[in-house]
A and B are shown apart, each in its own frame.
Chain A
Amino acid sequence: MDRIGMLFPESLREPWKGVRISRDDLREIRLRAQQPVLLLMRDGEWYPDAVGGGLSRGSGNAPRPTKRDLDRIVAHLSRYSLYACEEEMRRGYLSAAGGIRVGIAGEVIPGPDGTVRNIRNVGSLNLRVAHERKGAAGRLLSWLYEDGRLCSTLILSPPGCGKTTLLRDIIRLASDGNRLAPGVTVGVVDERSELAGCFQGVPAFDLGSRTDVLDDCPKAPGMMMLLRAMSPGAIAVDELGGGEDIRAVLQAVHCGCSVLATLHADSWESLSRKAALEPLRRERVFERILLLKKESGRFFAAQIRNGEGVLMEENVPC
């Protein structure tokens, strides 16, 4: 718990001293002004017990941060350098050390053109703990390679089902080499510092020995930068977005790169309904599409399809 306690300023660490949590079990810490602190663990919701120590299913003894406490936590997590997190804050989060992403909600300061300039009066924080599960992609590998070549792969799932964790392990295995193919150079465009968990340029997670990370970089220009400068065999991005991202993916594939990407979608059908992806579907850019599901705290590939949409395998555990 010491590392979790470090997320808070010294003056707010007291309630966490008796709490022992394994990082592997912890998913999120939810902090809301005047509300009990809530921990989302592998086995459900728990509250830290500030009186007896440990965890409790009841919220009675859970600390209730004030709005000022939340401000101090934000200042602390930004290492007293909020200006350095301006872009991230604009997008609603902060990156903290150790691959922890802090979602922020509060009063939005609008920009002149209807965009978000910043967030003030922070009312809620979601400290999301990223996980590294080495070997998560091991059983899927044989579907991801064809004649020793890494197929461009799209990973679909609803939020919280392990897309990023799986992508991280595929990157590592592709980069280090595996039983099906030797390692290739993998370029990662980590727009939200989630994949590599970089803090001040140093990745917190093992992405393999042939991996180059562009941290905190928008996906489309990042992919172009990697193509021009780093000669990647594969490019990985998390959470594909709009038209610019799609065009960059097409360009990468036309340059002979494999693309590994994730996307929010809860079914094969919902993927088909996303109009922005039409160019990718038309050109059959993704040769493998994995749909992840989660049951009883474990995630698995519910469907593995090829580029034509033909089902290749079902229910492969990760």
Chain B
Amino acid sequence: MLKALGLCLVAAGAAGTGLSVCAERGQRVLQLARLSGLFTEIAGEIAYSRAGLSEILTALGEKMRDAGDAVLGTALEEIGAGLETGGELCALWQEKMGDYAARGALRGRERKLLLSFPGSVSFPDTERQRTAVEFFAAELNREMEAARAREAEENRMTMAVCLAGGALAGLLLL
């Protein structure tokens, strides 16, 4: 009886590990989709209202928070407020978005791309600035699509490996 219970626990642990890895993968896809959407909205605001970056980031921060991403929302609002009080974009972005990226499931290249944004806001005309911001949206969207395409296959592999590992561990423990 105890052996059967132990076997069940090992199998459940293996499945739980697999699910956790899959969930993190799903989280990354979600985060990439949200960031891609964020840059699309920034580009749209630049083209439509020509509002300043601080104004745009503050408004989008509020929107993100309402949409349930309090971490990203707060980071954007803090960057917007920092710009209003004379802060430098590069330092503010590295600090706030760096924290946000570190907390999430983004990978090295995606983080690097996200943190390189302040280098792309020096264009003196609306059209070129919009194009520059759209590049970030497109790149992150591409990463997201690739991650999503791989997600199902990788999730299947992960679950198979975890469950097989769990079964093997169970057999060895018997």
Q: Mark A residues whose CB is within 8 Å of B.
A: 6-7, 9-11, 75-76, 78-86, 89, 118, 120, 200
Contacts and interface: CB of A to CB of B under 8 A. Distances in A.
A244 to B, nearest CB: 23
Nearest to B83: A79
Contacts of A85: 124
Q: Please list the 4 inter-chain residue pairs (A to B) with the smallest Cβ-Cβ separation, ordered nearest first.
A: A81-B52, A83-B129, A6-B86, A80-B89
A260 to B, nearest CB: 29
A118 B124 contact: yes
Given A6-B86, A82-B123, A118-B124, 17 more contacts: A10-B86, A10-B88, A11-B88, A79-B53, A79-B84, A80-B53, A80-B83, A80-B89, A80-B122, A82-B122, A82-B129, A83-B128, A83-B130, A86-B50, A86-B125, A86-B126, A200-B55
A80 B123 CA distance: 9
18 contacts: A6-B85, A10-B88, A10-B91, A11-B88, A78-B52, A79-B53, A80-B83, A80-B89, A80-B122, A81-B52, A81-B53, A81-B54, A83-B50, A83-B125, A83-B130, A84-B50, A84-B51, A89-B124
A168 to B, nearest CB: 24
A192 B86 CA distance: 22
Nearest to A118: B124
B163 interface: no
B46 interface: yes
**What interface size band does chain B fall in?**
20 to 34
Contacts of B54: 79-81
A82 B50 CA distance: 10
B77 to A, nearest CB: 15
Interface in B60-100: 83-89, 91
A6, A75, A89 interface centre (most CB from chain B within 10 Å):
A75
A311 B34 CA distance: 69
B146 interface: no
B123 A83 contact: yes
A83 B126 contact: yes
Contact of A118 (B46, B52, B125): B125
Nearest to B133: A83
